[in-house]
């Protein structure tokens, strides 16, 4: 086991990864003192708010852990210098968005924040420090971090303070909405590095709650690439099932039935086969584009094209949904009222990064629609910022609704974009009475049951299934397809 004793940990970045990850480590290792630091004071203040409903991120179970660890061995602050210099181990958990300008714009990761963090560590660290990449980073970023850490500032040189570093990669696989469970019961923990003493020091921390067999140690580059590859494989499954959803609509098959049928094959497995409006979140698109960029860089254009298609299909799925709404509403939404149910990129999170709702809503607004948006956790300010960033020629108007009935009042259509629990089993008889006829429900997340809509007079379009208006009494889906084909003739 490691000869390095870890007592104090610092995590740079108090976001969706840093916050929950450090909370769980603090919970499982009460003997460690953990300081989470961030340049964003507002965010740190929110982490320190005595009202746990005001934590900067919503994650089921997080408030419980914060209430027993904060102030005990978990601290949130903007005090960078002392937190870094005291630490034996530093996690870098800052944002790594896709570059918007310069070489690799639109594909490569912007490493400005990682670089700035590494420079802070180089400046303030003392003695031997283990530096851990937690953010998803392009392969060989650890090398860049090592180079930066080697540089010492003038003051350090003058005072001849000796400092040494060891760099590890320890990618995080948590998914938002289930982060606490993913952290407490991970499928695996991945640690990449070259210095076995430092690797052992990190292994020792995880052994407090993760079985040894589930801790995988690799070289640095395998660890970095595994994170990108895992996200690319997951996103690829979603694009695959979404491509099949369009096929189902065209042929009369039902994507849920197809997903069940193929998912029972153990080699395929039944997870990540839910067709929907496309994947969102801060990771999938960014990581695939990163893979695409790196494949191009390493002279592998066929590999780059292969992965790029996963992103192309994802955008196509969102465009396709918007066009279907337009088509069903007689080719125009100008001046029409449409309710958007769900704005976060998935249920159980207040995160809207890359949410399909942004593109689809923006396209509708561009066509002059009047949107009433309801989401149980996303704030008005967040949506406003999202629309501003997603530059579009906004002709429409949008407002927030405080409840589902408020959102549906006088609307011509409802578009369900996130599978929040409260959207299942709604009283459509009542809701239909609030809507304007002919009313449409566009369900992109399979939350509505056909039977619930029966006799309400509302039309139902379900992603990956035959449109409900086509069905007549006692007709099977096959009957509909035959009838439609005959009608076409």
**Tokens 């076409």 -> residue:** 488
Which among 402, 399, 404, 329 is positioned nearest to 367, based on CA atoms? 329
Q: Which does 252 bind (CB under 5 to 8 A by kind): ligand ADP, ligand UDX, none?
A: none
Please list the alpha-helical segments (H only) found in 139-219: 141-150, 154-159, 179-184, 196-206
Q: Which does 116 bind (CB under 5 to 8 A by kind): ligand ADP, ligand UDX, none?
A: ligand ADP
CB atoms within 10 A of CB 430: 11
Q: If binding is defined by CB under 6 A, does position 280 make contact with ligand UDX?
A: yes
Which among 407, 412, 402, 408 is positioned nearest to 367, based on CA atoms? 412
Of the candidate spans 10-18, 292-300, 326-334, 468-476, the one that interacts with ligand ADP by CB under 6 A turns out to be: 10-18
Q: If binding is defined by CB under 6 A, does position 141 make contact with ligand ADP?
A: no
| C-alpha to C-alpha distances, 362 to 170, 276, 384, 411, nearest whole angstrom | 37, 18, 11, 18
C-alpha to C-alpha distance for 442 and 321, rounded to whole angstroms: 9
Of 60 and 127, CB closest to ligand UDX: 60
C-alpha to C-alpha distance for 485 and 119, rounded to whole angstroms: 66
Query: Is the distance from CB of 129 to CB of 163 less than 8 angstroms?
Result: yes
Of the candidate spans 45-53, 90-98, 293-301, 332-340, the one that interacts with ligand ADP by CB under 6 A turns out to be: 90-98
Q: Which does 280 bind (CB under 5 to 8 A by kind): ligand UDX, ligand ADP, none?
A: ligand UDX
Nearest distance from residue 152's CB to ligand UDX, in Å? 34
Could you say which DSSP state residue 213 is in? Answer: G
Of 135 and 317, CB closest to ligand ADP: 135
Rg (CA), the chain: 25
Both tokens of 71, joined, read: 């102030």
Q: Which does 95 bind (CB under 5 to 8 A by kind): ligand ADP, ligand UDX, none?
A: ligand ADP
**One character per residue 146-175, x = contact with ligand UDX (rule: CB under 6 A):** --------------------------xxxx
> Is 283 an active-site residue?
yes
The closest residue (CB) to ligand UDX is 281
Of 121 and 463, CB closest to ligand ADP: 121
Which among 354, 338, 364, 347 is positioned nearest to 390, based on CA atoms? 354
**One character per residue 226-265, x = contact with ligand UDX (rule: CB under 6 A):** -----x--x---x---------------------------
Question: Considering 10, 11, 29, 283, which one is annotated as catalytic?
Answer: 283
Of the candidate spans 51-59, 199-207, 273-281, 327-335, the one that interacts with ligand UDX by CB under 6 A turns out to be: 273-281
Please list the alpha-helical segments (H only) found in 6-97: 18-28, 41-47, 62-69, 80-86
Nearest distance from residue 43's CB to ligand ADP, in Å? 5
* Angle value at C-alpha 282, between 352 and 112, nearest 5 degrees: 120
**Tokens 């997903």 -> residue:** 259
* DSSP H or E stretch at residue 189: strand 189-192
Both tokens of 456, joined, read: 């309400």
Q: If binding is defined by CB under 6 A, does position 20 make contact with ligand UDX?
A: no
Residues assigned a catalytic role = 283
Instruction: Name the site residues for ligand UDX (rule: CB under 6 A).
Output: 172-176, 231, 234, 238, 272-274, 276, 279-281, 283-284, 345-346
Instruction: Name the site residues for ligand ADP (rule: CB under 6 A).
Output: 12-18, 37-40, 43, 93-95, 113, 116-117, 135, 282
């Amino acid at each position: 086991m490691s000869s390095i004793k870890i007592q104090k940990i610092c995590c740079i970045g108090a976001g969706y990864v840093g916050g929950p990850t450090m909370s769980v480590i603090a919970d499982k290792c009460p003997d460690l003192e953990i300081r989470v630091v961030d340049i964003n004071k507002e965010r740190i203040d929110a982490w320190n708010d005595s009202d746990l409903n005001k934590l900067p991120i919503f994650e089921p179970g997080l408030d419980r852990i914060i209430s027993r660890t904060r102030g005990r061995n978990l601290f949130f602050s903007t005090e960078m210098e002392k937190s870094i210099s005291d630490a034996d181990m530093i996690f870098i958990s800052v944002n790594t968005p896709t570059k918007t300008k310069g070489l690799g714009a639109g594909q490569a990761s912007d490493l400005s924040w990682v670089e700035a963090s590494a420079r802070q560590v180089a400046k303030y660290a003392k003695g031997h420090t283990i530096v851990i990449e937690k953010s998803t980073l392009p392969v060989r970023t650890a090398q860049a971090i090592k180079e930066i850490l080697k540089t010492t500032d003038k003051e350090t040189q003058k005072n001849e303070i000796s400092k040494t570093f060891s760099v590890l990669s320890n990618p995080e696989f948590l998914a938002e909405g289930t982060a606490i469970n993913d952290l407490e019961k991970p499928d695996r923990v991945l640690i990449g590095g070259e210095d076995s003493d430092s690797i052992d020091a990190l292994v020792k921390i995880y052994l407090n709650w993760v079985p040894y067999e589930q801790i995988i140690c690799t070289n640095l580059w395998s660890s970095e690439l595994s994170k990108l590859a895992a996200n690319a494989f997951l996103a690829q499954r979603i694009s695959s099932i979404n491509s099949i959803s369009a096929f189902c609509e065209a042929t009369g098959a039902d994507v849920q039935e197809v997903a069940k049928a193929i998912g029972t094959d153990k080699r395929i497995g039944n997870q990540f086969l839910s067709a929907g409006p496309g994947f969102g979140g801060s990771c999938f698109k960014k990581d695939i584009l990163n893979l695409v960029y790196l494949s191009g860089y390493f002279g592998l254009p066929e590999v780059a094209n292969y992965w790029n298609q996963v992103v192309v299909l994802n955008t196509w799925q969102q465009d396709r949904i918007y066009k279907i709404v337009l088509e069903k509403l007689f080719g125009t939404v100008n001046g029409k009222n449409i309710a958007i149910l769900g704005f976060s990129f998935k249920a159980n999170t207040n995160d809207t990064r890359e949410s399909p709702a942004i593109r689809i809503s923006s396209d509708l607004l561009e066509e002059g629609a009047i949107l009433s948006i309801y989401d149980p956790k996303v704030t008005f300010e967040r949506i406003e910022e999202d629309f501003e960033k997603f530059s579009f020629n906004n002709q429409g108007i949008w407002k927030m609704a405080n409840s589902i009935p408020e959102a549906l009042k006088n609307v011509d259509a409802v578009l369900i974009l996130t599978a929040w629990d409260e959207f299942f089993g709604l009283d459509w008889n009542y809701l239909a009475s609030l809507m304007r006829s002919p009313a449409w429900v566009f369900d992109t997340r399979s939350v509505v049951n056909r039977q619930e809509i029966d006799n309400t007079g509302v039309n139902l379009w379900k992603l990956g299934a035959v449109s409900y208006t086509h069905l007549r009494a006692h007709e099977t889906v096959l009957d509909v397809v035959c009838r439609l084909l005959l009608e076409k003739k």
